[in-house]
Structure 1
């Protein structure tokens, strides 16, 4: 059995198909870990969701900020922007089933020495604490209060994380960190920065560069940061290689850390 972790797909269904052909992915024996942002900005978000839902236990998903945006859009909580490409899902005859599946997906996956999340972890969080906080969000998102949570996340003023937070503010702050973090201060104060790590705001570092972070005892897999690009260290696997921006879609075989990449391909299969 091989485990392949794959970077942000963003609706690039043709690129995903080519990458899975390259690695000879066999869902009967192999597993596919996806770091989130399955949908949006690419040409075929509907095709990506339909494929992944059919994989059953062979697929391990964590949700990204664009996946949560889709759920909020389906609830009428956000307006679509010019660059959004999720209209095909919202108009699909099987949208109810697809969105129900998406709401059941976690924000984290912890297996052995690996911890997978879409964006990153605050430096003050241990692995156990991050998993516990993620489960708080996951329970709410999958339950009857999911719309209220999404409303707080997308329409409220999401505060910086504090252990003193309660209710939907607490859940929104956790979600913001798990799905949007790129740089922060040593105290875990997030910025909205999305550019190259070399241009990070004063006093902010890439989250995995904070010297005191309490989660460095695990190998953390993440995406979300296309400007960072493919970033491999002994205990850091950053897998967003910017496929939707015309670059590559990346998979890493965790068994031996072999890398596989395909170039961006549009919905007509032209590279």
Structure 2
């Protein structure tokens, strides 16, 4: 009987509007989890939701993780040139938000796909896919998303299959767009939080070491999640351009405001053979810092300011 009632509760939960789901999740007791059946915008889930870049896929090339591109393909090309990216050898990974704000969103998507890049879903990628599906269903396209007219069927499928996280076991790294709640298993996260969160607050007693993601506003509430995260995987993320580079011990934020006229940044993870040459285990043990896996930060300046204020 209990399992049957639990299934009914899960079904009812998934019928709620997304914002009510988020509110309800925040009110549930610790450890309570309902499996989400759609993305934050109500779209079909990708398969897998949480992806893994296997050691076999990494091979003996580098993994180059780039920050929020936001429709700036010229800077992305310059950054890959500076990193001496070798297509077919190195793996390109994006923390998400390939589109919006900049002037060449479609071109940015085409460039990442041309280089065989894997993109973790960001909030702007999610919104773009939602606008595309609405356009095809209703026949009207938001002018801000006119670039979607340049998308091929392959581009659309690429967006549909963007995972919400990417684990890289060979280097002990996890890539997400916005962040994770310290102490909460990845599979128990609300997908909305993975693409939107910035701050967390303690939940329960001070000694419980439990946290919850906070809504975007007010900005002063809580503290940046990366400041208190302590591993074990090293999390590489974007989303928070207002703080620019966030070089925390066990997490590195690389949205350095390219579209705002600042920089586009990459974390370059060395080949596995280089790790072994340095006496570093692959996969690494313990909580991983960027230094412990010989990760390198490389940046290029933006060509110009494309958007004067980051409003989200």
Q: Same fold (TM over 0.5)?
A: yes
Assess if the C-alpha contact under 8 Å between 1:13 and 1:43 holds in 2. Answer: no
Q: Kindly state the Cα deviation for residue 181 of structure 1 after the two structures are TM-superposed.
A: 0.5
> What is the aligned counterpart of 2:215 among 187, 191, 194?
191
Please state how far the C-alpha of 1:28 moved relative to its aligned partner: 1.4
Q: 2:155 aligns with which of 80, 92, 98?
A: 98
- Residues of 1 paired with 2:249 and 2:213: CA distance? 25
8 A contact 1:11–1:42 mirrored in 2 = yes
Q: CA offsets per residue over residues 107-158 of structure 1, 9 Å max, x none?
A: 10112211110000113413xxx1x35xxxxxxxxxxxxxxxxxxxxxxxxx
Q: Secondary structure at the match of 1:253?
A: strand
Name 1:115's counterpart in structure 2. 174
Q: Corresponding residue for 1:220? A: 235
- Post-superposition, which runs of at least 4 consecutive aligned residues in structure 1 deviate over 4 A? 77-82
Residues 31-180 of structure 1: pairs in structure 2 closer than 5 A: 31-56=91-116, 59-76=117-134, 84=144, 86-88=145-147, 90-92=148-150, 94-112=151-169, 113-126=172-185, 130=186, 132-133=187-188, 174-180=190-196
Structure 1 residue 208: deviation in Å? 2.1
Cα deviations by residue, 1:34-63 (Å, 9 ceiling, x for unpaired): 10101110111111111222233xx22201
The residue number in structure 1 matching 2:70 is 10
What is the CA deviation profile of residues 6-54 of structure 1, one whole-angstrom value per residue up to 9, with x for unaligned ones?
1100010111111111111111111112101011101111111112222
When residues 97 and 194 of structure 1 are mapped into structure 2, their CA distance, relative to the original with a 3 A threshold, is farther
Structure 1 CA distance for aligned equivalents of residues 79 and 133 of structure 2:
33
Cα distance in 1 for partners of 2:246, 2:88 equals: 29
Change beyond 3 A, Cα 1:253–1:87: same
CA RMSD, aligned part only?
2.5
C-alpha distance in structure 1 between counterparts of 2:242 and 2:261, whole Å: 13
CA distance in 2, matches of 1:208, 1:117: 12
Partner of 1:209: 227
5+ long unaligned stretches in structure 2 = 1-60, 204-211, 271-293, 306-312
1:62–1:109: 8 Å Cα contact kept in structure 2?
A: yes
CA-CA distance at 1:194 after TM superposition:
8.3
**For residues 189 and 30 of structure 1, do their structure 2 counterparts lie closer, same or farther at Cα, with a shift above 3 Å needed?**
closer
Matched residue SS, 2:93: strand
The secondary structure found in structure 2 opposite 1:48 is helix
Helix, strand or coil: the match of 2:202?
coil
Secondary structure at 1:76 match in 2: helix
Mapped pair 1:265 → 2:288: no
Paired residue for 1:154? Answer: none
CA contact (8 A) 1:194 1:225 kept: no
SS in 1 for 2:241: coil
Structure-2 residue corresponding to 1:248: 263
* Greater relative contact order, per chain length (Cα 8 Å cut-off, separation 6+): 1
Report if aligned partners of 2:193, 2:213 keep a CA contact under 8 Å in 1: no
Alpha-carbon separation, structure 2, partners of 1:189 and 1:2: 33
Deviation at 1:80, TM superposition (A): 7.4
